Structure 1
Amino acid sequence: MKHKTGQTLTLCLLTCLGCTTVDPPADLSPLTNVDADDLRKKLDDELEYTFGRRLDLKQQATWQILHGALAYQREFEVIDAESETVSAVDYLLAGGAMSGWDIELVPSRIRPNPGIRALLDPGSKAGQGHQDQWFAVLAQCDLAPEQTIKVYGETVTMADFVFQVQQDVPRNLGREYSWTLIGLTTYLPTDAEWTGSDGGQWSIERLMEIELEQDLNRSACGGTHRLIGITMALNRHLAQGGELTGVWKQADDKIQESIAQAKRLQNRADGSFSIHYFDRPGMSADLAQDLGSTGHVLEFLALAMTKEQLSEPWVQHSVTHLCELFHRTREIGLECGALYHAAHGLVLYRQRVFGARSWKP
């Protein structure tokens, strides 16, 4: 595997074949299973190559870098100010400076330690774009509650981050709790209840209710982030012995409906998912747009479906298509959100179907 030294990713979505949106051609021929060994090799080849794309602290910001960490977790590496290759997550935990890593310590009246709050900077493509996005990414990096974090010379922990997120749920005026659910259900049982900074009673179930009320088609990335948060919370609820009743039954219904809709709207000609996500059919000659929609939908499916379901031909064909898309764009600078959400989808698929592995050489 050959990589260009210091290869970086640009902020621009590079359109490879134009921006034309077309109606998907009808293709009702039956799909056949893909050879499992061939599929695993394609996954490993493309994920190894993508791991080797290097971001540089002098050129990229937290928004790009933590998307990489979402896919590859603590193994994801960046080039620091001294031109050394370091773990991006470990660098942040040790108090390293990074453009867009805007964190503040919040004094508490009910506990000795301050809380940690990540500030929003939506649309900047440098700072946090969604409420609790950084918290959720770090939570998915398998950090223990006792994991220390250096902030302005003070040592705090992930538990302090959890506490502040709980306190701040009333501040989420956009009512987007996708990332909040991902992070909180990593550290709290799904029957957790607490008092927020508004004095109101909050719970994981209340956050789920709010998420389930939202319109997927009017949500970021076609509603995939909401579905991922709902799915991860439900998976943890069931793993803790919870039952499919009340809001959890509603969540399962939403997930199953969305799986069926993704399959219904899939472009059978090439295996890609609709560029309109769960709303209506559509495909595009723009490879970057294809990468974004197919990658985000696969990311959801890899969390929501069983190993047996993920081995069905229609899902295998979407994975094959995404691997081919990665291969065709190897030498192209890609927008990091689309690239690394797609990589995360492939990593999750690889874990669920073939088992986990390290991506470091």
Structure 2
Amino acid sequence: MNSRMTPHLWIKCSTLIVFTTVLQTACDVHAAPGPRLLVPNISDQPAKIRQVNTTETEVEEPLVARKPDLSIEARKPNLVADDATSKKSKTDAVPEPKPFPGIAKKTTPSMEKPTAPEVPKIVDPLDKLVDEAIEVSHRRMLHTNVHTPWQIAHGILALRWEYALYQNKKRIRAIDWVSTGPNFRGRPWFITTDNGGKGHPFTEPYAFEGHPNQFLAFYGMAGIPLDHKINTGEKTITIADMIRNAKAEVNTDEEITWTLWAFSRYLPWDTEWTSNRSEEWSIEKLVRVQMQSEPTKSACGGTHGLFALASAVNSYAKDQKHLRGTWLEASMRVRQYIEYARSMQNRDGSFSSKYFEGPEYASDVNKRVSTTGHTLEFIMEALPQKRLNEPWVRSAVSRIANDLIQYKSQPLEPGGMYHAIDSLVIYRERTRPKYAQYLEQLAKQKDFDQPEPSEPIVGYSKRFQQQQQNAPQYNYQPQYQNSNQSNQSNQPTSRQARRRFFSRFR
């Protein structure tokens, strides 16, 4: 093909170019001038540069409207217009710092009636179910002359200051009655020691303390202050005296679960002391000792030990930002057993009736409430705040609440039932803290009948200590045995082992 242009095509292109040039010239002459670039005036003084500082939070926050706060903590709007002429002082503009949440050091209650928080109109149905289950459980009242200290102390653990008892057809506050120095079957609730005082040790099943310092841990959960006075018959002791005695008597031969539980509520995480055996102790050492116990071989599936570990880790995390060493290891174990419980959860929301040994469903309501309640109590103490609204947690809370409501007329075993109620109380404290705090203040100021103190048993503490020295078998009760000692005692002798071996071939 010839690459040269034909004369006819050349004429057309030239004519088009000439026409375009003439048209552009005419537009420039008659049309208005278009936009031009602004040329800076060099002769003028240069303008000052304004610097805009942008914080990191302004960069990270999305550019969306904030949602209104409809929670219980939302402040009520001020309906009175502010006076524009009045100027507020700096002290009014800065709010006062709130006290650190914890157990009060003084028992002096406030005489002012607490104001009810503003409850939103839309309430979670699960919250209504939890409130109903706790209210129904208040009707299961025990009698002072019938039920044991072990049973009544579990009620104080769950229902705290609002827990009431029957005494001669009168409703009395359980904490007030226990402080008068009652006795059970000729033995006092509390005894005095050279280091202060403590709850009556284990002498028969489900009568007094089943574990060392168990009552002290229950009172820590109820928020009983350090200067609260308790009569023992010989003298009056306080919660601080019981803590001092627990420090002096702590040892590795006895269970330390409830000691760690109580100290996590009453003492700072970095507390250190020396026991009567001249051994150096600290709360971190208690955590290390507790870590050595196997949950599947401990009482109640090991949930109490895991609860104590979680409580100690929470106390540490409030003061320290990062977990290290023993505290990190304890936190990892707590998280591990949370996932164990979740993996073995039944379809109805209940947890395994074998605790952490394997999956199992309990059709018996007593066993189901006890196992699920113990496991949920540990989870409520250990689970992070942002996970409380997960479906599997809500399902477990609903299962416990429904069982307590459905079987409200059926007798339930006190220990497991009160631990289940405590799990619901902790759930309410964490999901609705303002409302739970209001209920606690209201319960402390509620009018109960004055308890009738029983006749004190003078001199019992000294006699009991002499009996302990003369009868060392008190130190070998099942609840007080160390796991190593119990394993050694259960090992058969050589003759028994030979008999068991040869019996296989018979």
Matched, 1:349 2:427: yes
Residue 276 of structure 2 is matched in structure 1 by: 197
Provide the TM-score with structure 2 as the length reference: 0.60
Instruction: Select 1:211's aligned residue among 290, 294, 310.
Output: 290
C-alpha distance after superposition, 1:195-223 (max 9, x if no partner): 10111111111110010111000011111
Matched, 1:133 2:220: no
Superposed, 1:253-332 pairs within 5 Å as: 253-267=332-346, 269-332=347-410
Report if aligned partners of 1:78, 1:85 keep a CA contact under 8 Å in 2.
yes
Report if aligned partners of 2:188, 2:232 keep a CA contact under 8 Å in 1.
no
Instruction: Select 1:50's aligned residue among 107, 129, 137.
Output: 137
C-alpha distance after superposition, 1:59-109 (max 9, x if no partner): 1111111111101112211112x332111112112323345754221124x
Residue 331 of structure 2 is matched in structure 1 by: 252
The worse-fitting range, judged by mean Cα deviation, of 186-195 and 200-209 is 186-195
Report if aligned partners of 1:118, 1:132 keep a CA contact under 8 Å in 2.
yes
Residue 198 of structure 2 is matched in structure 1 by: 117
| CA positional deviation for 1:255 | 0.7
C-alpha distance after superposition, 1:122-153 (max 9, x if no partner): 65211111111011111222122222221114
Instruction: Select 1:164's aligned residue among 239, 245, 250.
Output: 245
CA gap 1:60/1:219 in 2 versus in 1, 3 angstroms = same
Residue 14 of structure 1 is matched in structure 2 by: none
Residue 266 of structure 2 is matched in structure 1 by: 187
| Structure 1 Cα separation of the partners of residues 405 and 273 of structure 2 | 47
Q: Which amino acid aligns with 1:73?
A: R
Provide the TM-score with structure 1 as the length reference: 0.83
| Structure 1 Cα separation of the partners of residues 171 and 189 of structure 2 | 22
Residue 228 of structure 1 is matched in structure 2 by: 307
| Structure 2 Cα separation of the partners of residues 93 and 133 of structure 1 | 16
| Structure 1 Cα separation of the partners of residues 391 and 424 of structure 2 | 16
Structure number with bigger Rg: 2
RMSD: 1.9
Report if aligned partners of 2:295, 2:305 keep a CA contact under 8 Å in 1.
yes
Superposed, 1:28-39 pairs within 5 Å as: 37-39=124-126
Residue 79 of structure 1 is matched in structure 2 by: 166
Report if aligned partners of 1:62, 1:101 keep a CA contact under 8 Å in 2.
no
| Structure 2 Cα separation of the partners of residues 304 and 179 of structure 1 | 16
Report if aligned partners of 2:192, 2:235 keep a CA contact under 8 Å in 1.
no
Identity %: 31
Residue 173 of structure 1 is matched in structure 2 by: 253
Report if aligned partners of 1:56, 1:78 keep a CA contact under 8 Å in 2.
yes
4+ residue segments displaced more than 4 Å: 98-101
Q: Which amino acid aligns with 1:93?
A: S
Report if aligned partners of 2:310, 2:381 keep a CA contact under 8 Å in 1.
yes
| Structure 2 Cα separation of the partners of residues 186 and 107 of structure 1 | 24
Q: Which amino acid aligns with 1:258?
A: Y
Give the match's secondary structure for 1:358: helix
Larger RCO (alpha carbons 8 Å, 6+ apart)? 1
In structure 1, the gaps of 5 or more residues are 1-34, 109-114
CA gap 1:277/1:122 in 2 versus in 1, 3 angstroms = farther
Residue 95 of structure 1 is matched in structure 2 by: 181
Instruction: Select 1:40's aligned residue among 121, 127, 131.
Output: 127
| CA positional deviation for 1:292 | 0.7
Q: Which amino acid aligns with 1:201?
A: E
CA gap 1:265/1:159 in 2 versus in 1, 3 angstroms = same
Give the match's secondary structure for 1:284: coil
